[in-house]
Structure 1
Amino acid sequence: METMKGIIQRYQHKRISLVEAGVTRHRSIFNGLKALAEDQPNCRLSKPEVVIIHDAVRPFVEEDVLLKVVTAAQEHGASGAIRPLVSTVISPSADSCLDHSLERARYRASEMPQAFLFDVIYEAYQQCSDYDLEFGTECLHLALKYSHIKAKLVEGSPDLWKVTYKRDLYAAESIIKERISQKVCVVMDTKEDEEHVGHCLEEMLKTELNHVKVTSGQDLQQIILEQCYNFVCVNVMTSDFEETQRLLNMVEESNLSILYPVVVISVHFLDYESVPLGQKMEKVMQIREFAKEAKKRNILLSGLLIYFPQVENNRGLEEQKLRESLRQGTTIISALIKERNSGLIGQLLVA
C-alpha cells in the first residue's frame, strides 16, 4: 500500500482510491467491488453504473477498447476483449501423451479489459463459492454462472498481451518508445527568413520522418499540453542557449517529464562567418552543464552541430553539401528520438 501511495504521489495521479488486495485474483477484485458498493460499511465511493476490470500487466490498452467494452456492457450486462489464438491448445493425457487438441479457429483468448453492469458482477461475486474465489481466473464466467449473463465479446488490439516474463519488459519499453516518438516539435528563434538553413532542416525532417508528425512551436504551451515528448530546438540567431533554456524551463514547469522522459535536441549551425570556430565551439560545449541539470528533471538533452559549408563560386556544390549535412542531421535526430538513449545525454554530435 505504501508503494502504491508513493507511485500516486510521484506521478500526480488524481481520483484514485486504494483497496487492500486479497490473496487471489478473485478475492482482490471482490475487495475492489465491495469498496464501490453502497451496502458496505464506511463506503466512501459512489456506486458506478458500469465497472471495468483490468490487469496492470496489460499496460497498453487503448481508450477505444475501453469504450467498446463499456458500451457493450451497458447493452448486454457484461463484455470482454478477446484475441485470436496464436498457438493450438492441446490436452495431454496422464502419461504426458497427446489426448486431444482444440480447433484453433473456433476459440479465442480471453483478454482484459472486461466491463460489467456493477450490479451484475457484484451479485456474481456475492454468490461465489470459496473454490471460485481461490482458483478461478475468468470474471466473464462468473457473470454467466451466477448472474446468467452472456457476455458480449469485443475484438481487442494486438497490444493487449501480458507483461509476464523479464524479456517482456524490453518489449514493453520498445512499445512505449515507439508511441512517444510519433510527434516532434521544431522550435526556432526566427520566423523571418523562410529560406534559412533552419527552415530547410524542418522541411527535411517532415520529408524524412514520414511516420512522425512534425510541427512548429509557435504555441509551445499548447504543444506541451498535447503531450509532445520530443523537441528540436533550432538556434538560428544565436549560438547561445537562450531558446533551448526557455524550452527547458517550459517543459519543467509543465511536469510533462514526470511520466516519460522528454528528448530535447539543441541544434546549432557552423557557418564559419559571424563567430570564430573556437569561440562558437566553446559556447556550444556548454551543453554538458545544461544536460546535467535537465537530467534531474527527466529531460534528455543533447546537442547537434550541423556543418554549414561555404563553397566559393560554386553555389550548386554548396547546396549539395548543405543537403548532405541536413540529411545526416535528420538521421541523428531520428535516432536520438527513437532510441532515447540516456548515454548520449550532454553529447555534442556533428553532422
Structure 2
Amino acid sequence: MSQKSTEKKSNILAQRLGDLEKRAVRVSWISDIIVVVSPENIETMKSIIEKYGHKRVTVVKGGITRHRSIFNGLKVFAENQSSNRLLQKPEVVIIHDAVRPFVEEDILLKVVTAAKDHGAAGAIRPLVSTVIASGEDGCLDHSLERARYRASEMPQAFLFDIIYQAYQQCTDHDLDYGTECLHLALKYCKTNAKLVEGTADLWKVTYKRDLYAAESIIKDNLSQQICIITDLKEAVAQVGFLLHESLKSQVKVEAISISLSKNDSHLQNIFSGECYNFLCINDKEYATEEIQQLVDMLEKSNIPLLYPVVLILVHLSISENISFSIGLEELTKIKKFAREVKKKNILVYGLLIQCKDHFSLQETVNSAAALTMALIKDRNPELIGQLLVA
C-alpha cells in the first residue's frame, strides 16, 4: 500500500472516530466507546486517538467476521479485558457501524429508550428497492411485498446482559455467517426487538463514490454555524449585528461582544462546543494578536480538528477618506502566520469591510456575508493569509 493510500485510510478512520467521539462528549450518558478494528489497523487507530486526545475510546482487536468483532467488543465489559482502564459493565450497549458516520443524538436516544423497555431495539428504514428471489435456473422465483418489509439499519441498542448472553450461545455458524444482532437476541434470549424509524442520514459508506458524498455532507454540516466575535466598540458591534442579520437566514449564528484580552467564560463555552467557523471583527489596522489568541483558545478547546476550522479576521474601516493600506512586510508576516496555523488544521483569512459612510454599510456587509459563506463552504487553502475586500 502506498504512503498516500495509507494516509487517506488514516484520515477516514480519524473522521469516523472523531465523529463518534464528538457525540460521546456531547451526549453525557455515553460513558465509553469501544472501537473494534482489524489487527493491522490497531496501531494506526491508537495513534489517531493519541493525536486527537480522545479520552473515552478503547481499542479492541476485531475478529474475522462482523459478529466475532462485536463479541470481542462486548467481552471488554464482561471480562474486563481492557488493559488501559477499568470499564464498568453498562446497563445498555449501543452497537453501531463506523461506516455510518452521520448518526445523531436523537436516534441514539430513541433506540436506547426502547431497549430499556423491550430489551433490544434497532433503527429501520423503508426499502427503496423490491427484494426478489431467483430460482436455480437464474430466473425470477418470487418477490417480496415491499410495503411489508423494512431495511435493518444501525444503531441498535440492547440491555447488555441480553446481547452478551446471546453471543455466548452463538454457534460458529452464527458467528461466521450471521449479520443481524437483533436476530441473535430473538433466537437465543427470546427478546423481540422494538423497531424504531430511522432517518435518511443512516446510510452506509460502501463504495468509493460514497466517500465523496460523505465529505460533502460533512463540509455542509461544518458550514451550519458561525460565531461572530466583536470588541465592545459601538461601530464594531454594529457591524457584528448587521453581519448576524445578513447571515442568520443561511446558517446558525452566535454573536458575542467581548474583550479578547480577558478570559471570557462565554467565549470559552463557544470553543468547547461544535462551532467550526469564527469571524473576529475589529477596527485595528493589524490584529494578528487577536487572531493568535483565537488560535490558542482553539488548541486548548475540546473541538476535534479533523476538518479545517475557519477563522476570518474582519477589519472594519469606515471613513470619508479611505486610506487603509498594508505594507509588504506586514502582508508577508500574516501569510507566514496563516501557513503555520494551517498545519494545525486552521485556515485564516482576512476580510476588509471598507466604506466611506454609514449609508453604504449595509450593502458592504451583505457583500462581506457572501464572501464569508464562500470561504466557509470552500475552505480553500490557497486563499489563506489573503486580504479580501467586501
Normalised TM-score (structure 1): 0.88
In structure 1, what residue type is equivalent to 2:179?
A: T
The aligned residue for residue 7 of structure 1 is 48
The aligned residue for residue 249 of structure 2 is 210
User: Is 2:348 aligned against 1:301?
Assistant: yes
Counterpart of 1:327 (choices 356, 366, 380) is 366
CA distance in structure 2 between the partners assigned to 1:295 and 1:159 by the alignment = 30
SS in 1 for 2:359: helix
Inter-CA distance 38–277: structure 2 relative to 1 (3 Å threshold): closer
CA distance in structure 2 between the partners assigned to 1:181 and 1:40 by the alignment = 41
Inter-CA distance 257–68: structure 2 relative to 1 (3 Å threshold): closer
**Deviation string, structure 1 residues 288-325 (Cα, Å, up to 9, x no partner):** 12211211211111111233136xxxxxxx724x3332
Counterpart of 1:56 (choices 98, 116, 122) is 98
The aligned residue for residue 101 of structure 1 is 143
Q: How far is 1:338 from its partner?
A: 2.1
After superposition, the CA RMSD in angstroms is: 2.6
Does structure 1 retain, via aligned residues, the 8 Å contact 2:77–2:87?
yes
User: Is 2:275 aligned against 1:228?
Assistant: yes
Q: How far is 1:121 from its partner?
A: 1.3
In structure 2, what residue type is equivalent to 1:224?
A: F
Inter-CA distance 270–96: structure 2 relative to 1 (3 Å threshold): farther
SS in 2 for 1:268: strand
Inter-CA distance 234–120: structure 2 relative to 1 (3 Å threshold): same
Counterpart of 2:238 (choices 199, 203, 208) is 199
User: Is 2:209 aligned against 1:167?
Assistant: yes
- Between structure 1 and structure 2, the one with the greater Rg is 1
**Deviation string, structure 1 residues 27-84 (Cα, Å, up to 9, x no partner):** 1111122222149899953322222111110111111211211111111111111111
- Residues 75-94 of structure 1: matches in 2 within 5 Å? 75-94=117-136
Unaligned 5+ segments in structure 1 are 311-317
CA distance in structure 1 between the partners assigned to 2:383 and 2:49 by the alignment = 30
Q: How far is 1:187 from its partner?
A: 1.4
How much identity, in percent, do the aligned residues show?
Answer: 59
The aligned residue for residue 124 of structure 1 is 166
Does structure 2 retain, via aligned residues, the 8 Å contact 1:306–1:329?
yes
CA distance in structure 2 between the partners assigned to 1:19 and 1:171 by the alignment = 29
Inter-CA distance 185–285: structure 2 relative to 1 (3 Å threshold): farther
User: Is 2:346 aligned against 1:291?
Assistant: no
Count how many residue pairs are aligned between Structure 1 and Structure 2.
Answer: 340
Inter-CA distance 288–179: structure 2 relative to 1 (3 Å threshold): same
Counterpart of 1:266 (choices 292, 301, 313) is 313
The aligned residue for residue 65 of structure 1 is 107
Q: How far is 1:274 from its partner?
A: 7.8
Unaligned 5+ segments in structure 2 are 1-41, 259-265
Inter-CA distance 174–342: structure 2 relative to 1 (3 Å threshold): same
The aligned residue for residue 178 of structure 2 is 136
Normalised TM-score (structure 2): 0.79
